[in-house]
Structure 1
Amino acid sequence: MLLRIIPFEIRKLFEQPMIHLFFIASLLLNTIYIVTAGLDQSYLKYIQETEVTTGYLITSEFREKLSAQSASKEQQRLLTETAGAGNVFQHYSTEALGQEMIDFFQIQGSFAEKLKRKYEKLTPVVHELAEEQASLEVGAAGETMNFFTFIRNRLFRVVLGESLIFALLLGLYGSTSERLTKTDVLVMSSKTGRKTQVSKYVASFILTFLFYVTMVMLTFGIFNYLHPIGILWQTSMSTQFHVNVYFPQLLEIPFIPWQSMTLLNYTILSIVLGGLLIILCHGFNFLVGLWTDHLFRGFIVFVVIYVVLLGMEQIANQLGWWNMHSLLMWHPISLWQIQGYWFTEMGPYATIPWQESIAMIINIFLLGIGGILTSKFYSAKEVK
């Protein structure tokens, strides 16, 4: 019976005008963002045409062949940007990197020891990158950082942010729609009626996930049409032209993921992990809607939790409470905030390898437990 209800619940949700308006507005915003990206497509095209004869690794042979090319502004720029390039990871010390991170953020106590152990585990990864000569890949040379940062840190972040807002609203609306239409007393007063919330959850989840998948496909499709980057998708994320940047002051270090990745691999993994975050956001807010029994009250609860967690994180950072800071980094909201560091060593935002992925799986498990507890509460809840 519940399976038969799901298509009707999906149709009810899909008939809401705000869903169409939000989708159109998001896609329009993303298109404008892509059009105004300011990426130097002509320089990338020149490099990719040049790589046919020079190769994609910056070696002495690369420089010789590049020097033999006909003189142009692009040639001189590429010669300048690749001059003195070497294998960054050949003699790179992860222990020194860990100490640099500890000094930069002024970390003390047991948290500093955890970071040291984490960076010791990074050593085999650096050795692998050195053997692959990942840092010598030319990519888009001086434009690599602009392209990579725009794709992973800006464009994907915008898509993920829109999808999280959609998941938040649809999760709350899905569990409170009967209250909004004042049919809750009729539907939810029976045991069978209350079970329809399972159908509502599935329906709103399907629509949320479809929004995310469609938005990813259309947005990246538009990007690839307006900015065809070709073989740049196959460039290593650890090329020396692409670095990881930590704030509030400026600390630039090599981009070191826990496994050698190309831009395409990294983007796909980010999309997958973003999908898990969508599941968390939708599921959590659906449960909040059931507990509060009101869309607006549920939204206020979410905002309060969001603000409290952000406030706790700021206090922990200001007072140097690094152990509390470490615990807060396992929360979905913190995982969303540090999206730009996913799959890397993550500086002070992680104490173990692949922490963001492990944290996401743990949070989904906790969401499942929350769903079981909520179902027990909801089955005995009095309808007012």
Structure 2
Amino acid sequence: MLRIIAFEIRKLFEQPMIYLFFIASLLLNTIYIATAGLDHSYLNYIQETRVKTGTIITSEFGEKLSNQPSSKKQQRLLTETAELKNVFQHYSTEALGQEMIDFFQIQGSVAEKMKRKYEKLTPVVHELAEEQAALDVGAAGETMSVFTFIRNRLFHVILGESLIFALLLGLYGSTSERLTKTDVLVMTSKTGRKTQVSKYVASFILTILFYATMVMLTFGIFNYMNPIGTLWQTSMSTQFHVNVYFPQLLEIPFIPWQPMTLLNYTILSIVLGGLLITLCHGFNFLVGLWTDQLFRGFIVFVVIYVVLLGLEQIINQMGWWNMHSLLMWHPISLWKVQGYWFTEMGPYATIPWQESIAMVVNLFLLGIGGILTSKFYTTKEVK
């Protein structure tokens, strides 16, 4: 089997579209990073200043900063850190839950679940208060720009590209014999059909390799163009960084289910993104087996995607919160709310760590789908 997997991987590497897609994605990411518009001079100043003043904004921090050579950047940093306080010291998660319910007009049993969710957030807030996470200077006024670019934009682009690659490679992996018109020769025997397992493993390995390489190269380019250094160790819950919910603007403190730095948050997002890519690849591989044609399988995926988007819009318009709550467990919905992963997630979750639990549940369902498909495929007539 290992020999067949190696052979299938080699066949995939012979496809020029893989290289073209990879180069195009990396080029797009590089352009995106180059046009990010981050204030490099101010970021560099803050990193140099943090070494002398410390990272937590206290009265001592202000005194040390005042003793630094006078400049526009110093005055800006003094202004931005002048009146900050530990917002988590007496923060009420119950009040936050009620604010969320009122803002989004959540009703019924979902509202009760939301209240219980925010009650469970209380110990996290106490821990953030003890750590003085809200007083972490980070990049001061530039923190939101840097964190939002990394968390909501750059990683979202990488994940989107990798999901498209997983979609196409999953479909191609299971329909390649049909494309080359060798399916009648290969798939008419039981042994021949077992090669689909090797094709799945080969296309999965290449999908994960694409994702891992894209993550390393893109973040490597970002660090080269925007060396943020010690800012990777900044708390995600600094007062300069907030969670923003749309379409109406609702800004609340950034509260993950456990205290995290930017580096911790990014690594966890990459891991969870890998699971989402695994789901996308596996689902579309199964779709390819059922439809027996790449284009037909792609149409099936697009139809499912469009139907889910349309259903989500109808549910939101009608205020059907029970259905909205169920829809948030779907992989497509999980990708859409990627920017809120590991936080309380507002109206997009009713339990702690819902995005992580939902991913595990979906992987379990994918396994069941794989078992059912294998039984179907062993008796399927080759046309």
* TM superposition score category, shorter chain reference: over 0.9
1:337, distance to aligned residue in structure 2 (A): 0.3
Match of 1:63 in 2: 62
Aligned counterparts of 2:186 and 2:282: Cα–Cα separation in 1: 22
**Residue identity matched to 1:323:** N
Give the alignment's TM-score, normalised by structure 1: 0.99
What's the secondary structure of 1:252's corresponding residue?
Answer: strand
Q: Where in structure 2 are the equivalents of 1:155-170 lying within 5 Å? A: 155-170=154-169
Match of 2:129 in 1: 130
Match of 1:273 in 2: 272
Match of 2:233 in 1: 234
Aligned counterparts of 1:307 and 1:113: Cα–Cα separation in 2: 31
Percent identical across equivalent pairs? 88
Note the alpha carbon deviations across 1:45-88, whole angstroms, 9 max, x for none: 11111112211111011111111222100011001111110001
Match of 1:317 in 2: 316
Match of 2:181 in 1: 182
1:308, distance to aligned residue in structure 2 (A): 0.8
Residue 7 of structure 1 pairs with residue 6 of structure 2: yes
Aligned counterparts of 2:362 and 2:274: Cα–Cα separation in 1: 13
Q: Where in structure 2 are the equivalents of 1:198-347 lying within 5 Å? A: 198-347=197-346
What's the secondary structure of 2:251's corresponding residue?
Answer: strand
Aligned counterparts of 1:102 and 1:223: Cα–Cα separation in 2: 38
Match of 1:93 in 2: 92
**Residue identity matched to 1:67:** S
What's the secondary structure of 2:70's corresponding residue?
Answer: coil
Aligned counterparts of 1:228 and 1:60: Cα–Cα separation in 2: 29
Aligned counterparts of 2:64 and 2:221: Cα–Cα separation in 1: 35
Give the alignment's TM-score, normalised by structure 2: 0.99
Aligned counterparts of 1:292 and 1:277: Cα–Cα separation in 2: 22
The farther-off stretch of 306-315 and 138-147 is 306-315
1:94, distance to aligned residue in structure 2 (A): 0.2
Match of 1:349 in 2: 348
What's the secondary structure of 2:342's corresponding residue?
Answer: coil
Note the alpha carbon deviations across 1:289-322, whole angstroms, 9 max, x for none: 0000000000000001111111111111110000
Structure 1 gap segments, 5+ residues each: none
**Residue identity matched to 2:346:** G
Aligned counterparts of 2:179 and 2:149: Cα–Cα separation in 1: 40
**Residue identity matched to 1:121:** K
Aligned counterparts of 2:106 and 2:251: Cα–Cα separation in 1: 18
RMSD: 0.5
1:135, distance to aligned residue in structure 2 (A): 0.3
1:41, distance to aligned residue in structure 2 (A): 1.3
**Residue identity matched to 1:93:** S
Runs of 4 or more above 6 Å deviation: none
Match of 1:31 in 2: 30
Structure 2 gap segments, 5+ residues each: none
Aligned counterparts of 1:182 and 1:47: Cα–Cα separation in 2: 62
Aligned counterparts of 1:86 and 1:26: Cα–Cα separation in 2: 42
Aligned counterparts of 2:92 and 2:49: Cα–Cα separation in 1: 33
Match of 1:21 in 2: 20
1:42, distance to aligned residue in structure 2 (A): 1.0
**Residue identity matched to 1:256:** I
